[in-house]
Amino acid sequence: MHLIQENKCHGGYWRRYQHDSETCGCLMTFSVFVPAAAEEGKCATLFWLSGLTCTDQNFVQKADVESAAAEYGFIVVAPDTSPRNVGLDGEDLSYDFGSGAGFYVDATEAPWRSNYRMYSYVTEELYSLVADNLPMDPERTGVFGHSMGGHGALTIALKQPEKFRSVSAFAPICAPMSCPWGKKALAGYLGTDQENWKAYDSVALIESGAKVKTILVDQGDKDEFLAEQLNPELLKAACAEKDIPLTLNYRSGYDHSYFFIKTFIRDHVQHHHKMLNDVNR
């Protein structure tokens, strides 16, 4: 971990790091908010996964998470959304595939499989890097995200509920197998056999028996992507069928932007605080 930037904020620090990633085969960048509480011992930790086109800095500069994170003593980790500048043909041709659009999957198709392994990067390499170098409490670790990152947060929690013990999302791509963004990404990274897509589709995972204790989702009702891309009604139906408690808040007048996220980010931090400190978790 090579520190490239540090800014004091709400008594803690935003720190930006780079490291040579074995998983992605390139230099990767991520940011971490370390609260003042970290000086006294291990802290609960949240991994934030951003959406299409974002780097780690979109969340750092726009979400206003620091106040709540400092109050509740959370470390917050914000990785990039994909490998960068790895020299693959087509990596920069579109906003919804390639650079800035890793979709939190482990690609199996050439040429993407050599670098685009964001699922393993987040859940294994980055997780271990943070746990080994910062006062992270592995017993109190959660995941949340927005849009493509909301999809990533849901699928990661559903597949690894013992490692990521709380989950929430803003306007997630709930069923990527059923929307244009998801179909493009899953076909490109995983091939045309849709059986292989189910491992990265929240609704399909729930239908196959994956479970978490509870899910919090906030969705703006003026979101320009709601009808075509996000499909929260499919997540609601799947959770109801499999008895997974889901709080799905439709927020009147809110869109898909970080104005929406920053309005309700404290609610999400409070949700994770409650879940990760529940003695019966």
Of 21, 99, 147, 168, which is the active-site residue?
147
Q: Is 268 a catalytic residue?
A: no
In the numeric block, which tokens belong to residue 271? 């949700």
- Is the separation of the CB atoms in 46 and 269 below 8 Å? yes
| Residues composing the chain | 281
Q: Is 257 a catalytic residue?
A: no
Q: Is 223 a catalytic residue?
A: yes
Q: List, in order, residues 6 or more apart from 143 with CB less than 8 Å away.
A: 46, 47, 48, 49, 152, 153, 156, 157, 164, 166, 167
Of 146, 151, 256, 268, which is the active-site residue?
256
- Residue 241, Cβ density class (10 Å: 0-12 exposed, 13-18 middle, ≥19 buried): exposed
Residue 172: how many other CB atoms lie within 10 Å: 32
Give the C-alpha separation, 106 to 197, whole Å: 11
Of 201, 223, 272, 273, which is the active-site residue?
223
- Give Dmax over CA atoms of the chain in angstroms: 50
Q: Would you please indicate which residues are annotated as catalytic (active-site) residues?
A: 147, 223, 256
